[in-house]
Homo-oligomer: A and B are copies of this chain.
Amino acid sequence: MALTYFESYPEVSSTFTFEIDDVLFSAQSDFQKIEIVQSKAFGRILFIDEMVMLTERDEFVYHEMIAHVPLFTHPNPRKVLIIGGGDGGTARECLKHPSVEKIDLVDIDEMVTQACLRFMPQLASSVFSERMNCHFEDGVQFVKETKERYDVVIIDSTDPIAVGEGLFTRDFYQDCFNLLTDDGILVNQSESPAWLPSLVEGISAKLRSIFPAVHYFQAHIPTYPSGHWVFGFASKGPHPLKDFDSQRIKAANLSLNYYNEAVHSGAFQIPTFFSRLTGNG
C-alpha cells in the first residue's frame, strides 16, 4: 500500500507530498518528533516535527553551501562552531578543509544524531572524526558560557519555532559575535525570501544591528519551502567576494556537486525583491 507523507506550508496555504516506501525511525525525543522514512524519489528523508530537515537527494546543496562559502572566504579557518546540525551533514563538509583543527558541534537533541548514525551514516559518521567535539546541550546556553573563540560559526538550525526559536534572537546573535575571532564569520540558515519575507527581513535587521557587514547568499533547495533558500553571511572582517580567492577552491579539488568557484560569487547576486528585504543592493 502506498504511504504518503506531507509537509504543510501554512505561509502559502499549500502542502507538498512525498510517496513513502517505509518508515525507518519514528520517535518523540525530549524536544521534538523525529522521523526517518524511505521515500520513492528522494532517498531517505529526515523529518523533525513534520518538517523536512533533509533528503538524501538534495542535502548536498544545503550542506555544501552553508559550509564552503564561509570556509573558502575566511583566510585560515581553524576553529569552527556548528550550532544545530546534529545530522552531521554540515560537519562532514567542514571536515573537508584541512585547515580546520577543531569543530564544536552543539545540538540540543542527541536522538537526531543517533537516528542519523543508524540510517544516514554518510552524514552522521562525521561525528567520529578526531577533530569533532559533540555537545548535546542547548546552543543558546553554550554560546553564553563558552570561553572558546571561533573563526567560523555556522547556525544550522531548524525553523524559528519550538526548539529552534532561541537561535533566531538578537541576544543569541550577539553572543555568537562575541565568541568570533577578529576576522570571524557567522553564517546562518535564513529561510525563504519568497514565502517568508518578513522572517528574512527580521533576521537581517538583527544581524545588521550587531555585525559591521552582512551579506546574503542563496541556493536552490527543492525540498525546502519555495526552493529558494538563503543564508546570512555576517562578518567581522572578510568580504565574501573581495577576500575570496577562487584559486583556493581549485587547489582544494574537493568532490562536490553544487558549490564551485562560480557558484560562490553567483550565489551573492540576489534578486531585487530579496535585496529590498535585507537592505542589500
Query: Which range holds the interface residue count of chain A?
Result: 35 or more
- Residues of chain B within 8 A of A17, CB atoms compared: 14-17
Bitwise interface map of A from 263 to 281 toward B, beta carbon under 8 Å scored 1, else 0: 1011111111101000001
Copies in the complex: 2
- Residues of chain B within 8 A of A258, CB atoms compared: 271-273
A61 to chain B, nearest CB (A): 7
Contact A61 B12 (CB under 8 A): no
- Residues of chain B within 8 A of A19, CB atoms compared: 13-14
A27 close to B (CB within 8 Å)? no
CA distance A96 to B17 in the complex (A): 39
- Residues of chain B within 8 A of A270, CB atoms compared: 262-263, 266
- Residues of chain B within 8 A of A13, CB atoms compared: 18-19, 39-41
Contact A257 B273 (CB under 8 A): yes
A194 close to B (CB within 8 Å)? yes
Contact of A256 among B15, B58, B260, B272 (CB under 8 A): B272
A218 close to B (CB within 8 Å)? yes
Bitwise interface map of A from 85 to 103 toward B, beta carbon under 8 Å scored 1, else 0: 0000000000000000000
A2 to chain B, nearest CB (A): 9
- Residues of chain B within 8 A of A211, CB atoms compared: none
Contact of A269 among B42, B192, B195, B266 (CB under 8 A): B266
Q: Can you report 22 A-B residue pairs in the complex whose CB atoms are below 8 A from each other? A: A12-B40, A12-B42, A13-B18, A13-B41, A16-B16, A16-B17, A58-B194, A61-B271, A194-B220, A194-B222, A220-B220, A222-B227, A226-B227, A227-B227, A257-B271, A257-B272, A257-B273, A259-B271, A259-B272, A266-B266, A266-B267, A266-B269
- A residues engaging B (CB < 8 A)? 11-19, 39-42, 58, 61, 192, 194-195, 218, 220, 222, 226-228, 256-260, 262-263, 265-273, 275, 281
- Listed from nearest, the 5 A-B pairs whose CB atoms lie closest are A227-B227, A266-B269, A220-B228, A222-B226, A12-B41
Given A17-B17, A227-B227, A262-B270, 19 other A-B residues pairs in contact with their CB atoms under 8 A: A12-B41, A13-B19, A13-B40, A195-B222, A218-B220, A220-B220, A220-B271, A226-B227, A227-B228, A256-B272, A257-B272, A257-B273, A258-B271, A259-B272, A260-B281, A263-B271, A263-B272, A266-B268, A266-B269
